[in-house]
Amino acid sequence: MDPSFLSTTHGYIGCTSCHGGNPDGKTMAEAHVGVNTSPSSLAEQNCTPCHDDVVATYGTSLHATLRGIENGLCSFTGEANRGKAKEAFDKYCFKCHATCGTCHVSKPEAANGGLIQGHNFFSSPDQDSTCNACHGGRVANEFKGGIEGFPGDVHYEKLGFDCLTCHDGKSFHGDGSTPANRFEAPNKPSCLNCHPDAAPGKGTVDAHNAHPEGTIDCYVCHATVNKSCYNCHVGEGAQSKVDFKIGLNTRADWPYKYSVVRHMPGVSSMLDPFEPGLMADYDSVPNWKTTMVHNIQRITPRNKTCQSCHNNGKVFLTENRLVPGDSKACEDVVVQQLPPRF
């Protein structure tokens, strides 16, 4: 513990107020009887007295429940197998569940835990130790230029944006609602929040106005590469590949025909180590999915000319781009007929 912590607001509260234990203990062993090393796992008891507004909504948030990832897994197993799938999820996938403490004072378990800075609390978390610890494999590398040969997001490189610039407090703490995933979250960021004149018919950029509303999302023209993952997390053989593909959007909660897609890790036998045959609905859900990309650029290879995209099979997810073991539902994402050249 950093001695400076003792003069902070949380330091004045005292150790046992949050951690419990025996304040009358004469030895370390006696003092630590009944200690809770993660007080914010009991947020309603320990955090509510000072942060009742946050605690009231955080329990149903996506960060607290990982509901979006769980629902994604259960879409492959089917509702009949949700109970067993939840058991597998809790066993293999729940390390990224976040409590108040794993953002504001310590590192997430997925990053091997530990205090960020001697028990000092941060109202705005250190993002390299917290956000990037869980989202570093894909999002942080895209955003901060960690993919060799490709720049970081222009908002990061030129304007110094960080996660909290676009993702406000409600994105993490929730607002009391229970969205099924991040696409349904009422407070998700939108490019149009800062760039309203980029909507079709609202500005002077010909390329924006040429595509009718609902045709393409912003990422199609303004994102660079992203990381796709193959095989499975639970067993052996997981691997990733840097790629860029435009596919047909299959999400009802994402109002565009074309979107950037990436390959999600998973095979039909992924949960067999837990229970054989649990991925019963594997072929009903595509594992090429619409994605939110975090390496936006004003100029990309696709928006230099119309012909960079139109009738260019290299940038679209076509039949020959599917990999062995993909679900049959990936056919719904495949672009069968390329947009014609002008």
Q: Using one digit for the tens of pLDDT, what is the confidence trace for 104-163?
A: 999 887 778 888 888 999 888 888 888 888 887 789 999 999 998 999 999 999 999 999
> How many angstroms separate the CA atoms of 266 and 280, rounded?
13
CA distance 59 to 64: 6
DSSP string, 74-117: HHHH-GGGHHHHHHHHHHHTGGG---SHHHHTB--GGGT--BSS
Instruction: Decide if 132 contacts 164 (C-beta within 8 A).
Output: no
Average pLDDT, the chain: 90
Residues 19/137, Cβ–Cβ less than 8 Å: no
Q: So what's the pLDDT on residue 224?
A: 92
Confidence label for 273 from pLDDT (cuts 50, 70 and 90): confident
pLDDT tens digit string along 198-210? Answer: 999 999 999 999 9
Tell me the pLDDT tens digit for each residue of 11-34: 898 889 999 999 999 999 999 999
Task: Specify the pTM.
Answer: 0.89
Measured CA to CA, the distance from residue 187 to residue 181 in angstroms comes to: 12
- Compare 248 and 272 and report the one with higher pLDDT: 248
pLDDT of 164 over the 70 cut: yes
